[in-house]
């Protein structure tokens, strides 16, 4: 009986370690994440977002560069579903910072997963495992000319 208990414990730990070991880094389309119903519902249209390399109106005042680092439960979700959800969470954090600082836009938004910047005007980086997905973004809050 003790042998079976020990065997079960070892099997459980092996499965747990394998589940936690997955750490994929995926580039996913910004367009899909930003056009999701939840994003359209929750992102304030008065705050504009410009990703790395995207043209924007003239900056009247720069209010600082701010990071985000968001995680979400990925268990039972597709990688894309989990990543798009946590991306929205990161975007909402940038939006809140812009509102708090008196900005009307966030420019030069880059992925910053594990402090490795990835600049793209079309994709974002998501780290995804079997249990957790994460997105880290960095952007500069500004007041743009209208």
pLDDT in tens, 62-78: 999 999 999 999 999 99
CA atoms within 13 A on the CB side of 97: 23
Residue 32 has phi, psi (to 5 degrees) of -65, -45
CB 120 within 8 A of CB 113: no
pLDDT given for residue 9 in this prediction: 54
The pTM assigned to this predicted structure is 0.85
Q: Does the domain made of 23-144 have the CATH classification 3.30.110.70?
A: yes
- Band of residue 146 on the pLDDT scale cut at 50, 70, 90: confident
Domain ranges of the chain: 23-144
Interatomic CA distance for residues 141 and 47, integer angstroms: 10
The pair of three-digit structure tokens given for residue 41, joined into one six-digit string: 């519902």
pLDDT in tens, 81-123: 999 999 999 999 999 999 999 999 999 999 999 999 999 999 9
């Amino acid at each position: 009986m003790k042998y079976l208990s020990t065997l079960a414990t070892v099997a459980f730990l092996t499965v747990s370690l394998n589940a936690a070991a997955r750490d994929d880094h995926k580039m996913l389309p910004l367009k899909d994440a930003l056009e999701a119903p939840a994003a359209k519902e929750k992102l304030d249209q008065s705050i504009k977002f410009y990703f790395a390399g995207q043209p924007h109106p003239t900056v009247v005042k720069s209010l600082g560069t701010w990071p985000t680092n968001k995680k979400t439960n990925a268990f039972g979700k597709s990688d894309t579903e989990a990543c798009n959800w946590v991306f929205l969470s990161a975007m909402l954090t940038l939006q809140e910072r812009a509102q708090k600082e008196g900005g009307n836009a966030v420019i030069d938004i880059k992925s910053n997963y594990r402090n490795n910047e990835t600049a793209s005007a079309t994709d974002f980086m998501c780290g995804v495992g079997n249990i957790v997905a994460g997105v880290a973004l960095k952007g500069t809050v500004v007041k743009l000319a209208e």
